[in-house]
Structure 1
Amino acid sequence: MSDKPAWLKSHGTPWSVRSEKIVYDNPWITVTEYQATAPTGRPALYGKIGFKNQAIGIVPLHDDGTVTLIGQNRFSLANYSWELPEGGAPMGEDPLDGAKRELAEEAGLEASDWRLILRLELSNSVTDERGYGYLALGLTPTQTEPDETEDLAVVRVPFTEALDAAVAGHMPDALTVALLLRVHHMAVRGELPSDLARLVLG
């Protein structure tokens, strides 16, 4: 990843916390309520969802310019979601280890070439969730092991079709949109092998 530009610097006074209490806790998240002071000096009530896993997303890009996608019913929005292989890595685990596990479990793939291509903060106004996005190349099949709550569909489509679907709003998952755009950006900037870049760019 490129160096940070000089204009990307902090301004003003950070938030401060006067008191806090946990109002909900389970194996995946904690909800904490804060009596806080805003950067303007005003008192504020704030709630934060704390995540116990790091978010992981993978772009499995095949040599022929296709990408593997996963379809599943999602609970929170009660919708069917097509997205890149995704999952969580426990805090303290190398996110790459989590990415390798999720790619095998969901897509039945392993990769010989892994590249961290994006770091993300997901909904950073109310959560502390951080995400890591990987590009996986040199793909070969392996055994799938979906989670016991997952009923997954797997498709392999041209990268250009996946990107078009994402930017048209048909695949609104945030990690999916961001990572597909990042790979397209890499192709434009010459950060992919030339034959693969041509396929990504259509």
Structure 2
Amino acid sequence: MDKNAINPWKKLSLKQIYDNPWITVEEYQVVNPRGGNGIYGKVRFKNKAIGIIPIDEGGNTWLVGQYRFTLDEYSWEIPMGGGPLDVPVLESARRELKEETGLTAEKWTKIMRIHTSNSVTDEEGFIFLAQSLTEGSPEFDETEDLKIIKLPFEEVYQMVMEGKITDSLSVAGILKAQVLLRS
């Protein structure tokens, strides 16, 4: 990281193009790093992305499957969701794990901070390992029609390597967890 880096972009103006409870889309008139005039679009998220990799004593984890509207396809993912910007990320992680899987965890380890697509959005994500688990009943919200599966973590890692899991938070978190769990 270069903390002394100077921003080569000059923002001339900003116009809000769209707004809903989850995102705002902004359009900037800019001068780019080479001095040319242009536009830049930015999707501002109103929540942080929160992902959780629950691991039990036997080395198993849980995935949730759902049909993703934006992709128009089914997706297997780690339990995840949005955390309000003004709420501590661990508090949001605890809520999401319970909501999507029914699990609660005694041990939490933040393993990653990630930008989900830094060319078009400011979304910031956080991924946790959750251990010392207790099973319970999920509490889905009204937008969720989830399937939950419990698999050996090694099998989930192989799903990433075979391209069967493509969600960016899931892929990054599973790869990082694989390294951490092996060391």
TM-score with structure 1 setting the length: 0.87
Which of 54, 60, 63 in structure 2 is aligned with 1:69? Answer: 63
Q: Secondary structure at the match of 1:35?
A: strand
2:30 aligned with 1:36, yes or no? yes
> Unaligned stretches of 5+ in structure 2?
none
Give the Cα separation in 1 of the matches to 2:136 and 2:8: 47
Counting only pairs closer than 5 Å after superposition, residues 1-202 of structure 1 correspond to structure 2 as: 8-9=1-2, 11=5, 13-188=7-182, 190=183
Q: Secondary structure at the match of 1:39?
A: coil
What do the CA deviations read for 1:112-158 (whole angstroms, capped 9, x no partner)?
A: 00011000001110011000000000010123110112111000001
What do the CA deviations read for 1:53-77 (whole angstroms, capped 9, x no partner)?
A: 0000000011101110001111001
Pairwise CA RMSD: 1.2
Residue 13 (structure 1) shift: 4.0
Q: Secondary structure at the match of 2:126?
A: strand
What do the CA deviations read for 1:87-133 (whole angstroms, capped 9, x no partner)?
A: 00011110111100000000110000001100000111001100000
The amino acid that maps onto 1:99 is A
Residue 12 (structure 1) shift: 5.5
Give the Cα separation in 1 of the matches to 2:162 and 2:112: 21
The amino acid that maps onto 1:19 is S
With CA pairs under 8 Å and 6+ residues apart, which has the higher RCO, 1 or 2? 2
TM-score with structure 2 setting the length: 0.96
The amino acid that maps onto 1:9 is D
Give the Cα separation in 2 of the matches to 1:184 and 1:83: 15
The amino acid that maps onto 1:85 is P
> Unaligned stretches of 5+ in structure 1?
1-7, 191-202
What do the CA deviations read for 1:1-32 (whole angstroms, capped 9, x no partner)?
A: xxxxxxx3154643221001001000000000
Give the Cα separation in 1 of the matches to 2:125 and 2:9: 23
